[in-house]
Amino acid sequence: MARSSSSSSSSASLSSPSSLSSSGSQRRPRADAERNRARVLEAAREVFRARGDEAQMPEVARAAGVGIGTVYRHFPGRAALIAAVGEQRQAEIVEFGRSRCLGSATAAEGLVAYVEHIGEVLDAERGLSASIEAAFGSTEPTGEGRAQAEAVAGQLLARGKEEGAVREDAEAGDVVMIVCGLAAVIRNDAGDWRRYVRNACAGLRRP
C-alpha cells in the first residue's frame, strides 16, 4: 500500500510540471491574441473616427502596430471590423446609461443625460458613424446592443411614470425615434443638437 501511494505521488509529481507548462503555453497565445484584438479595435476606432469611410485596413494595422495578417486573423473583412467597433461603441453607451443615468436624482434628468451622452458620442465620432452607414446602410444599432439600450430607456421611463414626471403612453420606441432624429441632426449639421435633445425629451414629460 505504501509503495503504491509513493508511486502514485511520484507519477503525479512527474506529470504535473509538464501539464502546468502546457496549460501556461496555451494561455499565453490566447492572452496575446486578446491583447492584439483589443489593440486593433482601439486603433480602428481612432482611424475611422479621423478618416471616416476612406480608412482602410492597412491604416488600422499601422496604427495598431501589428501586421495586416493579424488584423485579418481577427476580422475577416473591413465590414466585420467596422461592425465590431460599432458594437463596442454601443456597449459603452449602454454601460454609461446603466452606471450614470439609472441612478440619477430623477428619471427625467437621467433620460436627458442618457440621450445627451449619445449625442456627444455621435458628434465626436462622425467619421465612424459615416463608416458604419456606408458599410451597412444605417447607423441604427441592431441585435443585443439595441435591446440593451432600449432596456435602459424603458427603465428610465418606468421610473419617470412612478415619479409622475413622464407621460403614461411614453415607451422605449419613442426614445429610439428621438435618437434617430438626433443622429440625423448631427449628421446633417441641421442645428444645435443639444437644443433638439431638450425639446424632444420635453415631449415625453407629463403635461
CB atoms within 10 A of CB 149: 22
> Global pTM?
0.84
Please provide the DSSP assignment of 82-109 as one string: HHHHHHHHHHHHHHHIIIIITTSSSHHH
Q: What is the residue-level pLDDT of the chain in tens, covering all 207 positions?
A: 444 444 444 444 444 455 545 555 556 768 899 999 999 999 999 999 999 999 999 999 999 999 999 999 999 999 999 999 999 999 999 999 999 999 999 999 999 999 999 999 999 999 999 999 999 999 999 999 999 999 999 999 999 999 999 999 999 999 999 999 999 999 999 999 999 999 999 999 999
Q: How far apart are CA 126 and CA 47, in angstroms?
A: 12
Q: How far apart are CA 122 and CA 129, in angstroms?
A: 7
The number of C-alpha atoms within 13 Å of 104 and in the hemisphere containing its C-beta is 23
